[in-house]
Amino acid sequence: MKYRKLGNSGILVSEIGLGTNNFGRRLDYSESEQVINHALQSGINLLDTADMYSNGLSEEYIGKAISKKRDQVVLATKGGMNPMPSPSDTKVAQRVNEGPNKSGLSSVHIKRSVEESLSRLNTDYIDLYQTHIFDPYTNQEETLRALDDLVSEGKIRYIGCSNYMAWELIEGVQISKKYGWSEFMTIQPEFSMFEREPESELIYACEKYNIGILPYFPLASGFLTGKYKRDSIPEGGRLSSGNHSAWSEKWLTEENFTIIENLEKWASSKGITMVQLAFSWLLAKSPVSSVIAGATSKEQIDSNITGSGIEITDTELEELNSILPPRNEVGIGNVPRRIQNTS
């Protein structure tokens, strides 16, 4: 496993991080603990979670699993998005953060959320606290002042954001510079060979201000693994689930299957797997600090970590660009998540 600086900070994180949104949903505690332990043993030191994942169970599971090895982990969590119910939870009142002032990025909610996350994570500090999505109803000054207070109190060490447009990120950076507050160290966008919006503007902003990118859904919800075929859709996958029909419609098209087939030929010619190709393509982007990859088994961890340390040349990137879909429209942000968070 290779390591990179987390944005402009002084700490190093593994090129492949562990996403934990399946903890408490598809995995119980015992299964989650096994995945965490195997990840740490494999050289992964960045664990990414959020207060909304499985109504807080993801944070609870992580806190319990790393209680005796806290110093081995760079712990990242997020707050501010409307909560995600568990599979059996259909009542809004059962959700984490239910209530009119228990979502978004107000000072009141951020400070309460951090305290609750600290409790669930069974720790007295969070290495990287990220705002989960931009809040159009709260001034960034209020949000950033609250985050800076929490840094000064030692409850969080670095701050980041997720699902921000480039202008929202830079507005936040400029506000922090104006008042001498803690600045965003990272941003977490959806970014993959099929979801290329960050290449339009965000990547250049991050290069300018030394902000680390932490791509999530690097395998396009599993489509880039190569296991989805025109005539064979595996059961149990993210794209085969009825809960994600919009994603299935987005990725499982004739045009995209042709692209996948061409990518498979390219990867085979280089002697690498599709997972290695997908991760190394992202890691070839200089602002990328770590690729956040979910895993539900030791085998997936073993597959994910092979994506570290593979270098793609500029010539090879040009070859891949001739295969890949074009970059997304500039400035649209993560529209599905924005709609979800305001509905």
- CATH number at 312 reads 3.20.20.100
Q: What mean pLDDT is reported for the chain?
A: 88
Number of structural domains in the chain = 1
Answer yes or no: 3 catalytic. no
**In the predicted structure, residue 343 carries a pLDDT above the cut 70:** no
pLDDT value of position 330: 57
pTM: 0.89
Residue range 198-210, pLDDT digits in tens = 998 999 999 999 9
pLDDT value of position 87: 43
Lowest mean pLDDT among 44-58, 85-99, 140-154, 225-239: 85-99
Residue range 232-286, pLDDT digits in tens = 777 666 666 555 566 677 777 889 899 999 999 999 999 999 999 999 999 999 9
- Percent of the chain, pLDDT > 70? 85
What domain range includes position 301?
A: 3-342
Residue range 121-155, pLDDT digits in tens = 999 999 999 999 998 889 999 999 999 999 999 99
Active-site pick, 3, 29, 53, 228: 53
SS (H, E, C) the chain: CCEEECCCCCCEEECEEEECCCECCCECHHHHHHHHHHHHHCCCCEEECCCCHHHHHHHHHHHHHCCCCHHHCEEEEEECCCCCCCCCCCCHHHCCCCCCCCCCCCHHHHHHHHHHHHHHHCCCCEEEEEECCCCCCCCHHHHHHHHHHHHHCCCEEEEEEECCCHHHHHHHHHHHHHHCCCCEEEEECECCCCCCHHHCCHHHHHHHHCCEECCECCCCCCHHHCCCECCECCCCCHHHCHHHHHHHHHHCCHHHHHHHHHHHHHHHHHCCCHHHHHHHHHHCCCCECCEEEECCCHHHHHHHHCCCCCCCCHHHHHHHHCCCCCCCCCCCCCHHHHHHHHC
Residue range 13-40, pLDDT digits in tens = 999 999 999 999 999 999 999 999 999 9
pLDDT value of position 233: 72
Compute the average pLDDT of residues 188-215: 95
